[in-house]
Every structure is written in structure tokens, then in C-alpha cells.
Amino acid sequence: MGISHLSILGAHPDVEVVGVCDTSKMVNDFLSKHGGFNCFTDFQKMVDEVKPQAVVVAVPTKFHYSVIKYLLEKGISVFAEKPFCLNTAQGEELVALAAKQKVVNQVGYHNKFIGTFGEVKRVINSGALGEIIHFVGESYGPVVIKAKQETWRSDPSEGGGCLLDYASHVIDLLNDLLAPVTKVKGAILQSIYSKNVEDAVYALLQTSSNVSGVLSVNWSDETYRKMSTTVTIVGTKGKIISDANELKVFLKDEDKKIGYSKGWNVKYITDLTEQVEFYLRGEEYSAQLDYFIKAVGGKVPNTINTFQSAWYTDRAIDLIKKSAV
Amino acid sequence: MERILFGDNQFFAVNHISDEKSRAQSIKFREDSAIIKTLDEARAVGVNTFMCTTHDRIARICDVIRKDPEKYKDFKIYPCMPYAHKYANAVTELGIAGTIKQYVPGNLVGTMFKGGMAYLSKDFHSIMELLIDAEMKMFKGVNTPVVFLQNVITDLFLGLRAYDILIGFHDYVKKKYNAEAGFITMNMPKLLDVLEQGGIQNPIICSSINKVGFRMSGGVEIYEETLRTRKLRAIAMQVLGGGAIHPKEALEYVCGLPNIESILFGASSKANIENTVETIHHFDELKQA
């Protein structure tokens, strides 16, 4: 993952990449020889030597706490990959530290930068759906489709498993669209091909606003070409079904305020996507880093995907784990 | 290059606006014969160039083409490499070293691993050349006058500023395959700068070009300006903006732009292929008149 962050940052006109740290000599050799980057294998040495204004942390989740803490203590703004931390106590400490140091903090939940999901939020907040009564959050994809794939993804202590890797995206999106998940009424963590981690997560969730819903996530589903996330939000006056490409809204009555007619309305991502300056693998990946850079530069508020919001997701993950035992 | 090139997204369930449509396509093109039938339908209306990813299934399509040289004597394939999912899946499963071991052919791998990773890291150009050879194997005996680097790789190296790798791709394709190199990108103006600085004049660049600015990084204006004032052999893809624009309006826009050498499109049905080809010809004639 780090390599695509670097590519996006390398192409960004407002960013000067002052240092890159990776443990692989092969990666560092390539980046210094072909890209002219200043490479390190020890991140503390890098930070002390090049004194960056901001750091993007794309390392296995188990290292997030120690790396981010070091950076925050030095007053450096941080963009970290998701999920935030492996336990809620560590996350809580970092949230407080980031606030104390007054630095920009962001976590890479990229769904928040996808146009269709942004529109879902706009429709919900407008009240057009009436009272929200139920939700379904789903995500399916072909990550582990046979036995014997032992990587960090299969090690729960490194942040592996479908719950941390895949389901976290859906939970975070639901948290943002509705309200943070604060209760888990039942959960199943199911191994299909993996020995040490779950390949599927099914759970009954409830938000702090007392809306309940279903989470269904499976990363061993090869009928999907790539990760596909869908949310369904049911209200008393309408319903939304949206994935990253297509948004379908059903309203009982026309809502002129938000420009939706009675019955089904369909919108596509092409109508809802803002252009980015440099595209690598989806507008959302460029857009989230661009947002972070703008926040560091003081041009936008640091309100999307903060450590705090990512911590709510960590907490829901924790509740699911406890409920599944 | 021919004015109209036929793409392959529909064969591999790639659809930018609908997961449902992509599923329907996956069902329709389950059998290789369905792909061949659609290619024949495109050939019947004069579209003789198939621009495709180096997907495993394409190897089987090449078998069909090789078996019938008379029927496919005018047929050309523009390979687009690499098929990134193949490597991404392999890296997940085998790691980077394991992936190279699996996909780089021949004894060289053994030699490289005996020499250790230091050798690997020092000579990325040789690894790239071996990977190109591996991807090109399936096209042996098939006419491939232009060979493309996929956007995910082009743009990755563009952002990493590993410009010499892009130039290396161009040079190797020319030297080894006597073919022209093409680059697919979502960042056309930026790539053109880099290729020109690397000494590639009038490069073949395939990028999203459509009326709504979909996947045109930096915006429509800078793309139009580049087409108007710079020297490149442009291929327009995603001309329908992922389906957001009415086909007629979309094609009228693209046909009206200066300096677009070819238009790439894909379609699953005979009627759609015929309509698109007819519409492009119609607007081209209007422009000439």
C-alpha cells in the first residue's frame, strides 16, 4: 500500500517528499535509484534527520501505535492507514495526544471520498428518508479464495482478518452515514479458508442513535472481481441502496429540496465524482491524500476521517470481537 | 493505427458504473466462443484491432486466431500489460520475490536468486524485460504492432518519478518486438511532458477523453489544450464517460476534437458495435465535409 501513497504524493504539486522509509532494501534501492527519493530503513532516524511537517504511515497495523505516538510527540501531522489501532486503549491515547499537540490527523478510510457515498450522506442528512429504521452494510471480494495463503493477512496480531481489513471499511462508513455503532447484539466470525483468522463477519449492530442493522462481509467471495461495498438505508419515507458506482434512491414523495423525484432515482459515480489532479487507482485515494495535504496547509478543516472517527470504528470492531466469543 | 479500436472490458466484467451490469457480462462471456463471436462481429464492420489486457483468457483467444490465419489475416492485437490483478493476487499469496520467481521465465531466475536480492534490486530494467517477455509469450505468431503499458503501472511509475522505467519500456518493445510502445494513463498531459523529456517524440498515449471530464486528471481544459498544441498520437478511451453521456453526444464530442488518432470502445452486443462504428464514421465525415 505504501508504494501507491508515495506515487500519489510524488505527483502532488504541493508536496515535497523529503524522506521515504521501508524495511526492504530492494524497495529502497529502486526508489532511490529510479525515483531519486531519500530512503531510510529506520523511521526515527528519518524523522530526526529530515524533520517532516507531515508523515503518511502505511505500515502493518500492529506498528501504528508506536510509530504514530513518536510522530505526534514531535508535533508532526499524521495520515495513517486503516484500521487505526489494534486496541481501543492505544487509540484513545493517540486521539488525546493528537488533540493536545494540535496536529492534523487522518485515517485512510477512503469510502468517505467516494461520490456516491457522499451523496448518500447528503440525502440522509436532508431528512428525505424520514426516520431511519434499518440499515444493511455489505462488502464482498476475492482476497482469500483458497486455503494455504499465509501472509500478514492471516495473522490476527498484525491486523489480519476480514474484520480488521474489510469489515472496518463498512463499519466506518455506517458510523459516518448514521451514527457510531455502540452496541453489537450478536456476531459471527467465520473462517472459510483461513486457519487463524475469520474470512467472513456477520453481525447485528446498533448505533448511538438507536438504529439497528445488519453487517455482512466476506472476503472469500470470488464472484466479485474486486472489493465491492454496498449500503442499504431504510427510512419511513424512502430507501437508499448504494455502492461505489451506483446510487439508487426510492422516495415515497418528491423532494424538491434535494432534487429527487417520487419513486426510484438512479445516479452514477460519474455524475458525483470530482476530478483529481493526479489519478492512480481511484479518485478517492488521491482525494483523501489531497484533503490531508490541504488540512496540513490550513486550507480545509481537519474533520473527515479523524483519529476520533477511526477510533469509533476500532471500538465497534472490539465490540464485534467480544460478541462473537 | 486504425480509427476505431475494440476494447476488452466487457469480456472481463469491468464496468465503471454498475456491478449488476458487470455480473451480466461475466455470465454472457463465460465461454471463450462468446468472445470470439463478438470479435467477429466487430471485424464484420471493419474494426480489426483488438486492444486487450494480457489476461489468461486472452491466451486462448490467441490460440483461436493462430489456428485460422486466413480468417484473421488483417487482425491485430494491441496487448496491454501487465494484467495487474494476476500480480496483485500473486504478491498477496507469494510475496514479491515469490511472484517474480513464478512469472519470470527461464533459468535466469535461478541465477538471480543465487546472486541474491542484491542482483534483483540493481537491475530492475532486466527484470522488466523478462516480465515483458513473459507477457508477450501468448501472442507469438499474432500481429501485435503496438504494445501498451497499463495505466496502473504507467501512473505508478509516473508518480514515483521512475521515468527511466517508462522510457525503458518504450525502448525494449521497439528493440525486441519491433513494435511501437503505447502508454495508457489517467494523467495524459503530465505523462506527455515526461515522455518528451525522455526523448520520445510523438508518443502513443491512450487516455480517458470524454465530454464530462471523467478520469481526465487536471480537467477537460488542459486535455483539450494538449491535444490542440502538442504532438502526440492520442487514443481516446472511456469516451462514454463510463456510461454517463448519451453515446451520440459522446462520440460527436470526441470526433470533433483535434489530434485524436483512434477511438477505443468496447461493447457486448452486435447492435451496439454497429451503432458506435456507424456514429463515429458519421461524425468523421461531417468533420471532413
Structural domain total, chain B: 1
Give the Cβ contact number of residue B222 at 10 Å: 14
User: A146 and A92 in one domain?
Assistant: no
Selection from A175, A184, A237 nearest residue A209 by Cα: A175
Of A70 and B30, more confident: A70
User: A91 and A77 in one domain?
Assistant: yes
The yes-or-no verdict on residue B108 having pLDDT over 60 is no
Place of cell 530512503: A39
Residue B213: what residue type? G
Residue A8 has its nearest CB partner, among B12, B159, B214, at: B159
Chain A: closest CA distance from residue B222 (Å): 11
Predicted confidence at residue B124, as pLDDT, reads 84
DSSP-H helix ranges across chain B: 19-28, 32-44, 56-67, 84-103, 108-115, 117-122, 124-136, 151-160, 163-177, 188-197, 220-229, 247-256, 270-288
What per-residue string of b and e applies to A234-270 under the rule 16 or more CB within 10 Å gives b?
bbeebbbbbbbbbbebbbeeebeeeebeeeebebbbb
pLDDT tens for A208-225 read 999 999 999 999 999 888
Measured between CB atoms, does B17 come within 8 Å of chain A? yes
Predicted confidence at residue B118, as pLDDT, reads 44
Predicted confidence at residue A289, as pLDDT, reads 98
In a domain, A285, yes or no: no
User: A137 and A259 in one domain?
Assistant: yes
Q: Which of A272-276, B72-76, B122-126 has the lowest mean pLDDT?
A: B122-126
Residue range B254-266: average pLDDT?
96
> Collapsing DSSP states into helix, strand and coil, what is residue A204?
strand
Of B93 and B160, more confident: B160
> Collapsing DSSP states into helix, strand and coil, what is residue B107?
coil
Percent of chain A with pLDDT over 70: 97
pLDDT tens for B4-52 read 999 998 888 777 667 777 788 888 888 999 999 999 999 999 999 999 9
How far apart CA B180 and CA B171 sit, in angstroms, is 9
DSSP class per residue in B147-197: EEE-HHHHHHHHHHT-HHHHHHHHHHHHHHH--EEEEEES-HHHHHHHHHH
Residue B242: what residue type? G
pLDDT tens for A105-139 read 999 999 999 999 999 999 999 999 999 999 999 99
Predicted confidence at residue B90, as pLDDT, reads 67
For chains A and B, CB pairs below 8 A equal 117
In a domain, A287, yes or no: no
Give the DSSP letter of residue A142: B
Peptide bond before residue B82 is cis, with ω within 30 degrees of 0: yes
Chain B partners of A36 at a C-beta cutoff of 8 Å? Answer: 161
CATH number at residue A191: 3.30.360.10
Mutate: best of A270, A271, A289, partner B, most B CBs <10 A: A270
Domain boundary pick from A60, A94, A109: A109
User: A236 and A115 in one domain?
Assistant: yes
CA-only gyration radius of chain B, Å: 19
Residue range A87-105: average pLDDT?
97
Residue of A nearest to B14 (CA): A225
Residue A151 has its nearest CB partner, among B20, B92, B242, at: B92
pLDDT tens for A16-64 read 999 999 998 888 999 999 999 999 999 999 999 999 999 999 999 999 9
Predicted confidence at residue A149, as pLDDT, reads 56
φ and ψ at residue B89, rounded to 5 degrees: -65, -40
User: Which H or E element spans position B212?
Assistant: none
CATH number at residue B26: 3.20.20.100
Q: Residue B126: give the domain boundaries.
A: 4-288
Question: What ipTM was estimated for this complex?
Answer: 0.90
Measured between CB atoms, does B215 come within 8 Å of chain A? yes
Residues contacting residue A282 through CB under 8 Å, at least 6 positions apart: A110
Chain A: closest CA distance from residue B107 (Å): 21
CB contact under 8 A, B19 and A228: yes
CA distances from A263 to A23, A120, A124, A133, B244 (A): 55, 16, 16, 19, 21
* Residues 42-101, chain B, touching A (beta carbon < 8 A): 85, 92-93, 95-96
Chain A: closest CA distance from residue B114 (Å): 16
Measured between CB atoms, does B242 come within 8 Å of chain A? yes
Give the DSSP letter of residue A57: E
Residue range A77-84: average pLDDT?
97
User: A255 and A133 in one domain?
Assistant: yes
For chain A, give me the number of helices (H) and strands (E)? 11, 13
User: A91 and A60 in one domain?
Assistant: yes
Selection from B193, B195, B262 nearest residue B225 by Cα: B193
Q: How far is CA B23 from the centre of its chain?
A: 22
Would you report the helix, strand and coil content of chain A in percent, each value rounded to 5? 40, 25, 35
For residue A15, give the C-alpha cell.
508536496
User: A100 and A181 in one domain?
Assistant: no
Residue B244 has its nearest CB partner, among A4, A268, A277, at: A268
Residue range B202-208: average pLDDT?
98
User: A138 and A44 in one domain?
Assistant: no
Measured between CB atoms, does A8 come within 8 Å of chain B? yes
Predicted confidence at residue B24, as pLDDT, reads 81
User: A234 and A164 in one domain?
Assistant: yes
Q: Residue A40: give the domain boundaries.
A: 2-109
CB contact under 8 A, B213 and A275: yes
Residue A25 has its nearest CB partner, among B93, B117, B155, at: B117
pLDDT tens for B148-193 read 999 999 999 999 999 999 999 999 999 999 999 999 999 999 999 9
Predicted confidence at residue A148, as pLDDT, reads 67
User: A115 and A101 in one domain?
Assistant: no
Sign (positive or negative) of CA dihedral B121, B125, B129, B132: positive
Chain A: closest CA distance from residue B161 (Å): 5
User: A263 and A216 in one domain?
Assistant: yes
* Residues 159-218, chain A, touching B (beta carbon < 8 A): none
DSSP-H helix ranges across chain A: 2-11, 25-35, 43-50, 64-73, 88-101, 115-126, 162, 168-177, 269-272, 283-296, 307-324
Selection from A58, A230, A220, A63 nearest residue A145 by Cα: A220
CA distances from A95 to A99, A172, B25, B70, B240 (A): 6, 16, 46, 69, 45
Residue range A136-146: average pLDDT?
93
Sheet holding A263-268, edge to edge: A181-190, A200-207, A212-218, A132-140, A228-235, A238-242, A246-251, A263-268
Give the Cβ contact number of residue B103 at 10 Å: 17
Residue A280 has its nearest CB partner, among B159, B214, B219, at: B159
Mean per-residue pLDDT over chain A, rounded: 94
Predicted confidence at residue B115, as pLDDT, reads 46
A77 DSSP β-pair partners: A54
pLDDT tens for A224-238 read 888 999 999 999 999
Percent of chain B with pLDDT over 70: 87
Residue B164 has its nearest CB partner, among A25, A34, A153, at: A34
Selection from A298, A225, A220 nearest residue B9 by Cα: A225
Domain boundary pick from A60, A78, A109: A109
Residue range B238-251: average pLDDT?
87
CATH number at residue A72: 3.40.50.720
Measured between CB atoms, does B22 come within 8 Å of chain A? yes
User: A172 and A87 in one domain?
Assistant: no
How far apart CA B6 and CA B39 sit, in angstroms, is 8
Selection from A280, A249, A319, A240 nearest residue A110 by Cα: A280
Give the DSSP letter of residue B12: G
Residue B123: what residue type? D
Domain boundary pick from A91, A109, A127: A109
Structural domain total, chain A: 2
CA distances from A304 to A28, A33, A76, A289, B53 (A): 32, 36, 18, 11, 37
Place of cell 465490540: A319
In a domain, A279, yes or no: no
CB contact under 8 A, A11 and B159: yes
The yes-or-no verdict on residue A87 having pLDDT over 60 is yes
Measured between CB atoms, does A36 come within 8 Å of chain B? yes
How far apart CA A214 and CA A167 sit, in angstroms, is 12
Measured between CB atoms, does A143 come within 8 Å of chain B? yes
Residue range B191-203: average pLDDT?
97
